[in-house]
Amino acid sequence: MTTVFTDSPMPDDRRRSHIYQGDIFVTSPNAATRALTDFARELVEEAFAPLDPQQAQHEIPVEKFVEIFGPVKPKFIHHPKTKSLLRDIVDQQSADLDETYIDVPRLRGATSDGYLTAGVGYAFPLHRDVWWSAPLAQINWWLPIFDFESESSMAFHPHYWDTGISNGSEEFNYYVYNATGRAQAAQHVGKDTRKQPGPREPVRPEPQIRVVCPAGGMIGFSAAQMHSTVPNTSGRTRFSIDFRTVNAADLRAGRSAPNVDTYCEGTSLRDFRRGSDGSPMPAELVAQYDSGEIPEGAVLVYEPVTAASS
Ligand SMILES: [Fe+2]
């Protein structure tokens, strides 16, 4: 059973334990979440000006869309302001910033009607983020930048919470992915040839839960929760932010969502920084969750070459 909590005043430790059981938390827009989504909206609007970013796909060829949107992503991700805005959101959730480690956020654009389905507009089919070496204690936070609809939302498939499926995680090594698969997303305009550890058997997307909240709202869920990008048929491009947190006390104690079908090698834990002071994840915690080989040429932490912050 999956419960969707809205604006729950629950303390962070209880909220995390619910999320590790497959529950979903929805937060109404607040000053901290709005500050982040407003900042992202300004960057997106500035890049597409004079076009409306949600409608630009109807005005310009797809290559031009990629040329405009591609650079906005690293600009937002690595902007000094972004980090403090994320910290404010975590703090506003009453999470302990000394124990909460935060990854850099992502900025996504899901175009409508199959305009762009690869690279910067890649629509993820059913998946769990843990198949990409995310820790089982990871919590994903998703925020829409503009109002959106069910037809341009994200879907959860909770019937897979305790049911495993055959998937590509057994061939996935995070450090090899960092070295090869993550770079150059903007080069993919037609077919996306990056290796992704998706399902290897027919999946049942139904039943599914779609949560629609206003711009600046936030949806929190486990990285082990099966979810997907709904094929956008709303006629408008949907822009969203997502970021991840992990609690060090839970890592130390082994508290997390259950592992039902994840077999990948490596861990993304080195990507996280402590909320209070930006310090790296303690090496002993990384070691506790690391696995498999570190092949020659592999990269422990992905550093995008286009990390423009101006
Ligand atoms: Fe995901």
Residue 245, domain CATH:
2.60.120
pLDDT in tens, 210-221: 999 999 999 999
Give pLDDT, residue 180: 82
Q: How many angstroms does the Cα of residue 228 sit away from the middle of ligand 1?
A: 7
Q: How many angstroms does the Cα of residue 197 sit away from the middle of ligand 1?
A: 12
- pTM comes to 0.93
Q: How many angstroms does the Cα of residue 127 sit away from the middle of ligand 1?
A: 6
- Within a domain: 74: yes
Q: How many angstroms does the Cα of residue 123 sit away from the middle of ligand 1?
A: 10
Q: How many angstroms does the Cα of residue 130 sit away from the middle of ligand 1?
A: 9
Give pLDDT, residue 117: 75
Task: Return d(Cα 52, Cα 126) in angstroms, integer.
Answer: 30
Residues 71, 308 contacting (CB under 8 angstroms): yes
- Within a domain: 300: no
Task: Return d(Cα 99, Cα 244) in angstroms, integer.
Answer: 14
Q: How many angstroms does the Cα of residue 50 sit away from the middle of ligand 1?
A: 31
Q: How many angstroms does the Cα of residue 97 sit away from the middle of ligand 1?
A: 24
Task: Return d(Cα 194, Cα 181) in angstroms, integer.
Answer: 5
Segments of the chain with pLDDT less than 50: 306-310
Give pLDDT, residue 140: 98
Give pLDDT, residue 303: 75
Ligand 1 ion: Cβ-proximal residues, 5 Å cutoff: 129
Q: How many angstroms does the Cα of residue 227 sit away from the middle of ligand 1?
A: 6
Q: How many angstroms does the Cα of residue 137 sit away from the middle of ligand 1?
A: 14
DSSP alpha helix (H) spans, 136-233? 174-180
Q: How many angstroms does the Cα of residue 223 sit away from the middle of ligand 1?
A: 7
Q: How many angstroms does the Cα of residue 43 sit away from the middle of ligand 1?
A: 23
- Within a domain: 276: yes
- Within a domain: 296: no
How many domains, the chain? 1
Strand, coil or helix: what is 147? coil
Give pLDDT, residue 184: 53
* CA end-to-end distance (rounded Å), the chain: 46
Q: How many angstroms does the Cα of residue 140 sit away from the middle of ligand 1?
A: 8
Give pLDDT, residue 308: 36
256 burial via Cβ count (<10 Å: 0-12, 13-18, 19+): buried
Give pLDDT, residue 241: 97
- Within a domain: 179: yes
Give pLDDT, residue 116: 85
Nearest to 232 by CA among 142, 145, 114: 114
Q: How many angstroms does the Cα of residue 63 sit away from the middle of ligand 1?
A: 25
- Within a domain: 37: yes
Give pLDDT, residue 192: 54
- Within a domain: 309: no
Q: Which domain holds residue 223?
A: 4-289
At 84, give phi and psi (nearest 5°): -70, -30
- Within a domain: 243: yes
Q: How many angstroms does the Cα of residue 109 sit away from the middle of ligand 1?
A: 14
